[in-house]
């Protein structure tokens, strides 16, 4: 699938993994200057002049309000106020909703129940939205790239805009490094691609929950683990400033403790 971001849109607020945390998303949007009203079951948003949102993916699963977060992203995307790339969880939910995957995982089953609790037609609209999410987006004439788990090959970015992504490149953008590419402990996971990154485009990504946003070379990791009781973070572009709001609760238990960024950076330097 081709990226659909417009090249000239360069005043963006890039939002990390939301995972169904609607309250925190609303709070973060308020902190960024977005006015939100609920009208007839939908969201009507007034962004600050000239700005738009861009989600790094993983809108869904694990959190308390997957359907409402989808509704927000879908309303804003339809109004031309937001962009979104696909995360591994968005893909997983799409597979469950279209019967390609078992709904057995508890967070997945909970999301499907939440969607089925919405008025008629919403589930079909959500499927259409999830199916249309690109693996990555480029903005500002290629100076900003957004992908859920990152982009390994910066030189490939411009090539990819000439054609569809290979299955391998799409898998990397959604899932990141395969287990075989991790070190022997696999914890903390190192964003090896970011350590090796030498591209000119700033790459903003999420996927791996961190205690703080992490800048490494020309990349910014902004998943600060909201659904695990951390924070929801946005990166303002071109300002390169981050804004975070704390989680109101621990909605899901992380399988491993958040990476300590100093340790992560030290390990990546050694790598
Ligand atoms: Mn995630």
For residue 62, how far is its CA from the centre of ligand 1 (angstroms)? 9
Residue 1 forms part of a structural domain: no
For residue 201, how far is its CA from the centre of ligand 1 (angstroms)? 22
What's the domain count of the chain?
1
For residue 206, how far is its CA from the centre of ligand 1 (angstroms)? 7
For residue 89, how far is its CA from the centre of ligand 1 (angstroms)? 7
Residue 138 forms part of a structural domain: yes
Task: State the number of CA atoms in the 13 A half-sphere of 229 facing the CB.
Answer: 9
Residue 2 forms part of a structural domain: no
CA distances from 115 to 57, 78, 120, 184, 194 (A): 18, 19, 10, 39, 35
Query: 225 — alpha (psi -120 to 50), left (phi > 0) or beta?
Result: left
For residue 138, how far is its CA from the centre of ligand 1 (angstroms)? 20
pTM equals 0.88
For residue 207, how far is its CA from the centre of ligand 1 (angstroms)? 4
Residue 39 forms part of a structural domain: yes
Domain CATH code at residue 61: 3.60.21.10
Tens of pLDDT along the chain (271 residues)? 334 444 455 899 999 999 999 999 999 999 999 999 998 788 999 999 999 999 999 999 999 999 999 999 999 999 999 999 999 999 999 999 998 877 678 888 899 999 999 988 999 999 999 999 999 998 998 899 999 999 876 556 655 555 567 778 888 899 887 655 555 444 445 567 888 888 888 999 999 999 899 999 999 999 999 999 999 999 999 999 999 999 999 998 877 666 555 555 555 555 4
For residue 139, how far is its CA from the centre of ligand 1 (angstroms)? 22
Domain span at residue 225? Answer: 7-270
For residue 153, the model assigns a pLDDT of 67
For residue 146, the model assigns a pLDDT of 94
Phi, psi of 205 (to 5 degrees): -150, 170
Q: Are the C-beta atoms of residues 59 and 66 closer than 8 Å to each other?
A: yes
For residue 54, the model assigns a pLDDT of 98
| Pairwise CA distance, residues 34 & 128, whole Å | 26
Residue 117 forms part of a structural domain: yes
């Amino acid at each position: 699938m081709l990226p659909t971001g417009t090249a000239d849109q360069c005043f963006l607020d890039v939002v990390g993994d939301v995972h169904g945390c609607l309250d925190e998303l609303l709070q973060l949007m308020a902190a960024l200057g977005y006015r939100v009203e609920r009208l007839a079951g939908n969201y009507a948003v007034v962004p600050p002049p000239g700005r738009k949102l861009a989600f790094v993916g993983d809108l869904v699963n694990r959190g308390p309000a997957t359907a409402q977060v989808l509704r927000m992203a879908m309303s804003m995307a339809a109004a031309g106020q937001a962009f979104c790339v696909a995360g591994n969880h968005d893909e997983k939910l799409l597979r469950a909703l279209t019967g390609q995957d078992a709904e057995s995982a508890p967070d997945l089953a909970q999301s499907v129940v939440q969607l089925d609790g919405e008025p008629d037609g919403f589930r079909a609209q959500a499927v259409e939205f999830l199916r249309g999410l690109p693996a990555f987006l480029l903005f500002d004439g290629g100076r900003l790239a957004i992908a859920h788990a990152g982009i390994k090959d910066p030189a490939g970015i411009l090539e990819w805009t000439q054609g569809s992504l290979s299955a391998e490149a799409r898998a990397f953008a959604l899932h990141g490094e395969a287990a075989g590419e991790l070190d022997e402990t696999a914890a903390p996971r190192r964003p090896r691609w970011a350590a090796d990154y030498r591209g000119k485009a700033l790459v903003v990504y999420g996927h791996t929950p961190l205690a703080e946003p992490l800048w490494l070379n020309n990349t910014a990791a902004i998943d600060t683990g909201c659904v695990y009781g951390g924070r929801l973070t946005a990166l303002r572009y071109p300002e390169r400033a981050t804004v975070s709001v704390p989680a109101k609760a621990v909605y899901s238990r992380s399988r491993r403790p958040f990476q300590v960024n100093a340790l992560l950076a030290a390990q990546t330097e050694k790598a």
